[in-house]
Amino acid sequence: MTVKDIKSRPAVIREETTVYDAIVMLFLEDVGTLFVVDEKGLLQGVVSRKDFLKAALGSADMSKIPVGVIMTRLAQIHTVTEDEPVLQVVRRICENEVDSLPVVRPHGKDGFKVVGRVTKTNLARLLMELGEGR
């Protein structure tokens, strides 16, 4: 079984989006992580609930701060591709202690196009289905 079999739709925002608007989207999409992309849909960064909490504790005006200021940049992000085995993804999530990983496709020399996400929930659902014999 590969990532393509279990991935879900990614929740993406742009780097210019304010922290406030990103928090609203996080709740509306009911996700724990938002992937930050440029105008081509190429991955630029990731922002999580923990990042938002840190920003809120700083007591700055979150309606004026762009997500690009608080996001984790591409160089520090772990990604997966659609053809990777699920077991490898489980190992990466556990080793890196993250809640989700962006599923990407190489986009020439430009970077990576975000095509999905794999979360702990995706993996728990798979385990449940396997346990039920589906």
Query: What pLDDT is attached to residue 54?
Result: 86
pLDDT above 90 coverage of the chain, percent: 79
Please give the Cα distance from 20 to 87 (Å, whole number): 36
Could you list the beta-strand ranges (E) of 5-130: 12-14, 33-37, 43-48, 72-73, 100-107, 111-119
Residue with tokens 């202690």: 97
**Domain residue spans of the chain:** 3-131
CA-closest candidate to residue 10, choices 134, 127, 128, 102: 102
Mean pLDDT of the chain: 93
Give per-residue pLDDT as tens, 63-91. Answer: 889 999 999 999 999 999 999 999 999 99
Residues 99-104 have a mean pLDDT of 95
Cα-to-chain-centroid distance, residue 133: 29
Instruction: With beta carbons less than 8 A apart as the criterion, state whether 121 and 101 touch.
Output: no
Residues 91-108 have a mean pLDDT of 94
Query: What pLDDT is attached to residue 98?
Result: 92
Give per-residue pLDDT as tens, 6-65. Answer: 999 999 999 999 999 999 999 999 999 999 999 988 999 999 999 998 888 876 788 889
Q: In this structure, how many other beta carbons lie within 10 angstroms of the beta carbon of residue 130?
A: 10
Burial (CB count <10 Å: 0-12, 13-18, 19+), residue 112: buried
* CATH class of the domain comprising 3-131: alpha beta
Global pTM reads: 0.90
